[in-house]
Amino acid sequence: MSRAFLVDIGSTFTKAALVDLEAAAVVARADTPTTLGTDVMDGVAALRDRLGAGDVPTLACSSAGGGLRLAVVGYEALVTAEAGQRVGLSAGAKVVHVHAGPLDRTGIDALRAARPDIVLLVGGTDGGNSEVLRHNAARLATARLPRRVPIVVAGNAEAADQVAATLAARGRAHTVAPNVLPRIGVVAPDGARAAIREAFLTHVIGGKGLSRDPAFASLVRAATPDAVLRGVEVLASALGQDVLVVDVGGATTDVYSSVDPAGEPYAAERGPGEVVAQLRHARTVEADLGLRWNAEAVLEAAARERLPVSDDVRAHAATVQNHPDQVPTSPAEAEHDLALATLAATVAVRRHARPAHPGEPPRRLTDVGLVLGSGGVLRHGDPSQAGALLRAVTADRAGGWPLPRAPRLAVDAAYLLVVVGLLADTQPQVAAALARRLAAGEPVPTAVDGRGAQPA
């Protein structure tokens, strides 16, 4: 029987699934706290033993060690740098810094302070301005950035060779990708996204000090958010409808959507009022909306959005932020956790759906046919309570964004989106079949409280 062992090494928990590729079915799954204190492969090995995976081939993704930190250096804030930021988010990166215009010493200092893993260098449409792109390449070539930080060049194609030569002359690791903004208002993210993924795998993942095992870097095929977005793409394609996914995690709350931009192709022309076209497959990451590492920041964000918060939830947020590995041990704690998650999800979807800039339209989510919830608080909680969270999000009439007209609500209780995303390129038919099973709510093996796995 042909099988695959799929692993997501998260910032808080490591999740694994054993998949029968011939049947396109999950055989067993389990999770365990991520073993950051020793070696992340310790947790992976424990899950392999627990699931009886033996020497089954492994595909993994990772957001441990802070995930992928990306800085964007561009030409003009409302055009090229904005396009770069959107592409970076779609590549599974946490955009930690955006610089627009010619880099000077102050700009370099700010870039260094952001501690990026990768720099995305963009600027100019094809055949347009190249002066700022060439200037910034020269400054980056000599900047006192760590040598392990690669640069992905995705600007004016006519200047790409000169930019690459400038970086190579100083021994700066770099990759040239197609321009993310070949024409004004047109975003072409695929090439840069692939280059960011490759730079992450080649230069970043092995350098985070997460494991001493040389096999670790070869097992990880993507940053976790990139794998999830790939899963969302497959899900939307398999269903033939727009999809919205809300993933509430311990460190961040991520929102993904795959929408048909008014019938236009992937690299769509911008709509009325848009500086940069909306991406068909998009992700936003809210680093202040994690249920553990920054739980109290969720309350601050909720207050700014004028969302009510009870005293019990405030006390719960303070407790779990000081003890991020804590899981609910009573119905009351589970209820408070869900209330905190509802706040995080509501704020995160508002930010995802609202216009990015004044004068731009909101994201086109009115035709979303499936709203999918993800994250441990939903997977391990009562299904009716998880449904209440999603209903709160899709009935948020005070949020300032047009709601989906008639969405179906579901929860990724088996954490299949990552599995679908990891299999999408090597096993596309299996990935599509698993996506359809996820959407249909078919039962899968149930993990037992992170201590074991129940086979099918």
Which of the pair, 307 or 260, is modelled with greater confidence?
307
Residue 223 has what pLDDT? 86
Dihedral pair phi/psi, residue 343, rounded to 5°? -65, -50
Helices (H) and strands (E) in the chain, counts: 15, 17
Residue type, 439: A
* CB within 8 Å of 302: residues ≥ 6 apart: 309, 343, 346, 347
Instruction: Output phi, psi for 385, to 5 deg.
Output: -70, -40
Residue 409 has pLDDT above 50, yes or no: yes
DSSP 274-328: -SSPPPSEEEEEETT--SSTTHHHHHHHHHHTT----HHHHHHHHHHHH-TT---
Per-residue pLDDT at 1: 54
3-state SS assignment for residue 258: strand
Supply 149's token pair.
């930080």
Instruction: Select the more confidently predicted residue: 174 or 213.
Output: 174
The tens digit of pLDDT for each residue in 316-361 reads 999 999 888 788 889 999 999 999 999 999 999 999 999 877 777 8
pLDDT band at 414 (very low <50, low <70, confident <90, very high): confident
Mean pLDDT is lowest, of 57-71, 306-320, 364-378, for 57-71
The conformation of residue 361, written as its DSSP 8-state character, comes to: P
The token duo for 304 is 């700014």
From edge to edge, which strands make up the β-sheet containing 25-33?
25-33, 13-20, 3-9, 58-62, 220-223
pLDDT of 452 strictly over 50: no
Alpha carbons 335 and 394: distance in angstroms, whole number: 20
- Of the listed ranges 214-218, 232-236, 423-427, the least confidently predicted one is 214-218
The answer to whether residues 263 and 285 touch, using CB atoms and an 8 Å cutoff, is no
Going from the N-terminus, what domains does the chain have, and what CATH number goes with each? 67-206 (3.40.50.2300), 223-425 (3.30.420)
Give the separation between CA 39 and CA 440, rounded to whole angstroms: 37
268 pLDDT band, cuts 50/70/90, is very low
Beta-bridge partners for 248: 253
- The model's pTM is 0.83
Strands (E), 145-294: 151-153, 174-176, 220-223, 242-248, 253-258, 281-286
Q: What is the C-alpha separation between 407 and 365, in angstroms, rounded?
A: 10
What is the predicted pLDDT for the residue at 447? Answer: 54
| pLDDT computed for residue 246 by the predictor | 97
**pLDDT recorded at residue 71:** 94
The token pair at 197 is 């993924």
In this predicted model, which residue has the larger pLDDT, 40 or 293?
Answer: 40
Question: Phi and psi for 99 in degrees, rounded to 5?
Answer: -120, 135
Helices (H), 305-397: 311-322, 331-353, 376-379, 383-394
Structure tokens at 277: 């076209």
What was the pLDDT predicted at 350?
Answer: 97
pLDDT at 454: 42
Looking at the chain, the whole-number percentage of residues with pLDDT higher than 70 is: 93
Closest CA to 120 of 162, 78, 97, 154: 154
Residue 193 has pLDDT above 50, yes or no: yes
Measuring CA to CA, how many Å separate 185 from each of 49, 83, 102, 229?
A: 51, 9, 22, 23
**Which tokens go with 346?**
């509501």
The residue among 91, 82, 283, 274 whose CA lies nearest residue 177 is 91
| Pairing mode, strands 68-74 and 25-33 | unpaired
For residues 95-113, one letter each, b for 16 or more C-beta atoms within 10 angstroms of the residue's C-beta and e for the rest, the string is: bbbbbbbebeeebbeebbe
pLDDT digits (tens, 9 = 90+) for 23-70: 999 999 999 999 988 999 999 999 999 999 999 999 999 988 777 889
Question: In this model, does residue 264 exceed pLDDT 50?
Answer: no
- The encoded tokens of residue 198 equal 């490759």
**Given this model, what pLDDT does residue 262 score?**
57
> How deeply is 361 buried, as exposed, middle or buried, from its count of CB atoms within 10 A (0-12, 13-18, 19+)?
middle
Mean pLDDT for the stretch of residues 366-393:
90
What digits encode the pLDDT tens for the residues 423-451?
Answer: 999 999 999 999 999 998 887 775 544 44
Query: For residue 237, how many other CB atoms are within 10 A of its CB?
Result: 16
Q: Which long-range contacts (CB under 8 A, 24 or more apart) does 29-33 make?
A: 29/414, 29/415, 29/444, 29/445, 29/447, 29/453, 30/447, 30/448, 30/450, 30/452, 30/453, 31/447, 31/450, 32/450, 32/451, 33/325, 33/450
What pLDDT is stored for residue 336 in this prediction? 95
Mean pLDDT, the chain, integer:
88
Banded model confidence at residue 276, pLDDT cuts 50, 70, 90? low
- Cα–Cα distance between 272 and 170 in angstroms, integer? 43
Q: Which range has the worst mean pLDDT, 217-231, 294-308, 422-436?
A: 217-231
